[in-house]
Amino acid sequence: MSKPRVAIFDFAGCEGDQLQIVNLEEVVLDVLGRVEIVTWREAMKEQSDHYDIALVEGSITRKSDEERIKAIREKAGILVAIGACATIGGINCMKNFQDEKFVRRYVYGDKAHWYNTYAARPVSAVVPVDANVHGCPINREEFVQVLKALLQGKKPFIPNYPVCVDCKKAGNVCVLLKGQFCMGPVTRAGCGACCVTEGAYCWGCRGLVDDPNMDAARELLGRFGISAGEAIGQIRLYDGYREEAR
């Protein structure tokens, strides 16, 4: 049986997720033993239009992006969004709540007219996505899990429960118990609660769970003296597109 051909593409993003793939370290050779990477701008010169699995990083933020992702979708049997920008829109969507012209000028200065950007959106807003590897950046272990599931022809297990579950399994002290704010109770798990384990709080980079309890979140924020505006800002840090989509 020939190895599945994998192509890796990037759109608007920092390429941090591709870096995570490069950094797979001890398993990178095993992964390469299972798939043939045929296109990867970040790591190789060759390119091919024939691939079975497309891994897509970054959000869609230009008309030209849209055409490109649609062409990729047509060629790929399986399309996987990797990283917050691709799965939920991510950081890029913060600009959607600001004046587009202002943002463009702020970023590109007097060359702003060269760039024809629009409101950022996740890949799934443009084409159907078969699987999401959430996170900013992606968790390497989870990436390998998803890849294995796809090679098996199985739907990857992506949790629909909050980060609190991962935190308890990791044996962490709840950030809230320490009197600090945390996005964990509404954020999709699967990261192993890595940020809390390292002493930080959950920023919500994996996006909200399917049915987040926003009333409870508001109450919680209030308890920490966080205003509604700040709360919205915290959610918009990664998952702003979600409220636009509604």
Partner 1 sequence: MGGDMNLAIIEKEGLRLFVAEILRQKNTVVGVKDQSAVSSIPGDSGFYTYAPINSPEELTLSFDVTLIPPKKYLLPAYEQLLTFNLSPGSIKADVPKEELIVFGVHPYDIIAINQMDKVFSTVPQDNHYLERRKRTTIIGIDPVKVAPRAFWSSMGADTVASGFDLMLTDIGQCYVVDVGSKKGASLLKMAPRTREAAPAEVKERDKVRAGARKRCDANRLSFSYLELPSLLDGKEEHVIWEEKSHLCFSCGTCNLVCPTCYCFDVRDDVSIDLKKGSRYRTWDGCLLSDFAQVAGGGNFRGHRADRYRHRFYRKGQFIYRRFGDIACVGCGRCSAQCPSDIADPVAVFNRLKEGI
Partner 2 sequence: MGSPSPYLPGLATIMKIEEQTAMEKLFMVRPNDGKPLGHKPGQFVEVSVFGVGECPISVSSAPNKKADFEICVRRAGNVTNALHNLKAGDVIGIRGPYGTHFPAEDLRGKDLLFVAGGLGIVPLRSFINYVLERRKDYGRIIVLFGARTPADRLFKAELASLARRPDLEYLETVDVGDASWKGNVGVITTLFPKFAIDPKKTYAVMVGPPVMYRFAIAAARAKGLADDHIIVSFERKMKCGLGKCGHCQMGPVYVCQEGPVFNFAAIKNLEEALS
Where does this chain bind partner 2 (CB under 8 A)? 152-155
Using the contact rule CB under 8 A, the part of the chain among 92-100, 118-126, 212-220, 228-236 near partner 1 is: 212-220
| DSSP of 97-130 | GS-HHHHHHHHHGGGGGG--EEEEE-GGGTS--S
By CB under 8 A, name the one of 41, 63, 70, 148 that touches partner 1. Answer: 148
Q: What does R_g of the chain's alpha carbons equal in angstroms?
A: 19
Query: Where in the chain does DSSP place strands (E)?
Result: 5-10, 36-40, 53-57, 60-62, 78-82, 117-121, 131-133
How near is the Cβ of 174 to partner 1 at its closest, in Å? 5
**Strand ranges of the sheet holding 5-10, from the earlier edge strand across to the other edge:** 36-40, 5-10, 53-57, 78-82, 131-133
Using the contact rule CB under 8 A, the part of the chain among 49-57, 91-99, 217-225, 228-236 near partner 1 is: 217-225
Q: Is 226 a binder of partner 1 (CB under 8 A)?
A: no
Per partner kind, with CB cut-offs from 5 to 8 A, the member of partner 2, partner 1, none near residue 151 is partner 1
By CB under 8 A, name the one of 25, 74, 110, 211 that touches partner 1. Answer: 211
Euclidean distance between CA atoms 59 and 86, whole angstroms: 5
Q: Is 112 a binder of partner 1 (CB under 8 A)?
A: no
Contact present, 66 and 74 (Cβ < 8 Å): no
Shorter beta-carbon distance to partner 2: residue 63 or 148 = 148
Shorter beta-carbon distance to partner 1: residue 41 or 169 = 169
Q: Is 40 helix (H, G, I), strand (E, B) or coil?
A: strand
Shorter beta-carbon distance to partner 1: residue 29 or 107 = 29
- Helix residue spans in 191-227 (DSSP H): 194-197, 214-223
Per partner kind, with CB cut-offs from 5 to 8 A, the member of partner 1, partner 2, none near residue 155 is partner 2
Euclidean distance between CA atoms 223 and 20, whole angstroms: 36
State the residues that interact with partner 1 by CB under 8 A: 27, 30-31, 33-34, 144-145, 148, 151-152, 157, 160-162, 164-165, 168-169, 171-174, 176-178, 184-186, 197, 199, 209-213, 215-217, 219-220
